[in-house]
């Protein structure tokens, strides 16, 4: 069953989301050659725990050993942080963060370049991030879940990248994973209707050259089947009568639908 959230509940989720947004800004400066994924995990854990009422939501969830997921290069999701895993110039690292604030989950991920990356890698990151923004713009009352996946497909079409379809976005609230599932492929107008009060984690994952994945022997780390690089961008979004509200950070100005209510835009100095 799809659980709709009240405005008050969405505000709590947004408070968790603000912590993740701030965390990503802070952690970006730590991502450089030589740093280990274990150090990034430790920083994230301490950062989240410094906020009253907030805990790293992934820590111990389903038995996950880290506080955040750190997935390097061909790793798509669920990479386990380690002090023995150092980053190299030109790598990419996806950091997936969950915060539980007063019992409410928030979920967001970003793929960061480590130093300078090659153009092909830069393009993969750019397209995945744009696919997320376009998908979020489709998260409006009157649309359906299928419109979100259709928006991802429209951006990726013609690039040669693979949309990882075995992993999906999801509703979230009191649980990290709630209904509905939010696939990154779909047909406009199909799937459950989007309603005021739905809170969704929208999270396109793209493989540079494949849409196939497999899980390593550690039973967590998901990699692309051909070991090509992959990128992952995720925000938690509330579907509201006033449009999609991004709860885990801000979005570039050109995505007007995602800028929030007009009163907050400072238009015309009013
Ligand atoms: Mg996530
Ligand atoms: Mg998620």
Is a pLDDT exceeding 70 seen at residue 268? no
Is a pLDDT exceeding 80 seen at residue 129? yes
CA 204 – ligand 2 centroid, Å:
10
Model confidence band, residue 262 (pLDDT cutoffs 50, 70, 90): low
Of all ligands present, the nearest one to the C-alpha of 57 is: 1
Answer whether residue 264 is part of any domain: no
- Burial code (b: 16+ CB inside 10 Å, e: under 16) for 80-111 equals bbeeebbbeeebbbbbbbbbbbeebbbbbbbb
Region at 10 (left for phi over 0; alpha for psi -120 to 50; beta for the rest): alpha
Q: Which tens digit of pLDDT belongs to each residue from 191-212?
A: 999 999 999 999 999 999 999 9
Answer whether residue 27 is part of any domain: yes
How buried is residue 37: exposed, middle or buried, by Cβ count under 10 Å (0-12/13-18/19+)? buried
Of all ligands present, the nearest one to the C-alpha of 110 is: 1
Cβ atoms of 194 and 142 closer than 8 Å: yes
CATH of the domain at 254: 3.90.230.10
CA 220 – ligand 2 centroid, Å:
15
CA 266 – ligand 2 centroid, Å:
32
Number of domains making up the chain: 1
Residue from 128, 88, 97 nearest 201 by CA: 97
Percent of the chain exceeding pLDDT 90 equals 96
Lookup: tokens for 39: 């150090």
CA 19 – ligand 1 centroid, Å:
14
Lookup: tokens for 73: 């290069």
Answer whether residue 52 is part of any domain: yes
Neighbours of ion ligand 2 (CB under 5 A): 107, 201
CA 171 – ligand 2 centroid, Å:
9
Average pLDDT of span 122-132: 98
CA 45 – ligand 2 centroid, Å:
18
Q: What is the pLDDT of residue 162?
A: 98
Answer whether residue 144 is part of any domain: yes
Answer whether residue 270 is part of any domain: no
Model confidence band, residue 260 (pLDDT cutoffs 50, 70, 90): confident
Other CB atoms within 10 Å distance of the CB of residue 122: 13
Is a pLDDT exceeding 90 seen at residue 266? no
Answer whether residue 113 is part of any domain: yes
Answer whether residue 94 is part of any domain: yes
* Mean confidence (pLDDT) of the chain: 96
Answer whether residue 269 is part of any domain: no
Q: Which tens digit of pLDDT belongs to each residue from 24-51?
A: 999 999 999 999 999 999 999 999 999 9
Determine the distance from the C-alpha atom of residue 43 to the mean position of all C-alpha atoms in its chain, rounded to a whole number: 19
CA 77 – ligand 1 centroid, Å:
8
What range defines the domain where residue 170 resides? 7-259
CA 97 – ligand 1 centroid, Å:
6
Q: Which tens digit of pLDDT belongs to each residue from 78-119?
A: 999 999 999 999 999 999 999 999 999 999 999 999 999 999
């Amino acid at each position: 069953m799809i659980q709709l959230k009240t405005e008050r509940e969405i505000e709590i989720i947004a408070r968790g989301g603000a912590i993740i947004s701030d965390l990503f800004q802070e952690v970006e400066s730590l991502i450089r050659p030589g740093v280990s994924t274990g150090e990034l995990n430790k920083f994230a854990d301490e950062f989240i725990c410094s906020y009253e009422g907030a805990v790293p939501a992934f820590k111990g969830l389903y038995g996950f050993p880290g506080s955040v997921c750190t997935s390097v290069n061909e790793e798509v999701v669920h990479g386990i942080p380690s002090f023995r895993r150092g980053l190299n110039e030109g790598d990419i690292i996806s950091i997936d963060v969950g915060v539980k604030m007063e019992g409410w989950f928030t979920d967001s991920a970003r793929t960061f370049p480590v130093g300078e990356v090659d153009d092909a890698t830069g393009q993969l990151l750019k397209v995945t991030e744009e696919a997320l923004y376009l998908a979020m713009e489709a998260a409006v009352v009157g649309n359906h879940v299928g419109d979100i996946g259709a928006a991802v497909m429209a951006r990726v079409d013609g690039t040669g990248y693979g949309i990882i379809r075995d992993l999906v976005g999801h509703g979230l609230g009191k649980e990290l994973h709630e209904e509905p599932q939010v696939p990154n492929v779909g047909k406009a107008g199909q799937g459950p209707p989007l309603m005021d009060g739905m809170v969704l984690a929208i999270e396109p994952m793209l493989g540079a050259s494949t849409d196939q994945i497999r899980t390593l022997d550690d039973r967590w780390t998901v990699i692309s089947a051909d070991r090509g690089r992959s990128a992952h961008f995720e925000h938690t979004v509330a579907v509201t009568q006033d449009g999609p509200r991004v709860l885990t950070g801000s979005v570039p100005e050109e995505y007007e639908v995602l800028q929030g209510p007009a009163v907050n835009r400072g238009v015309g100095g009013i």
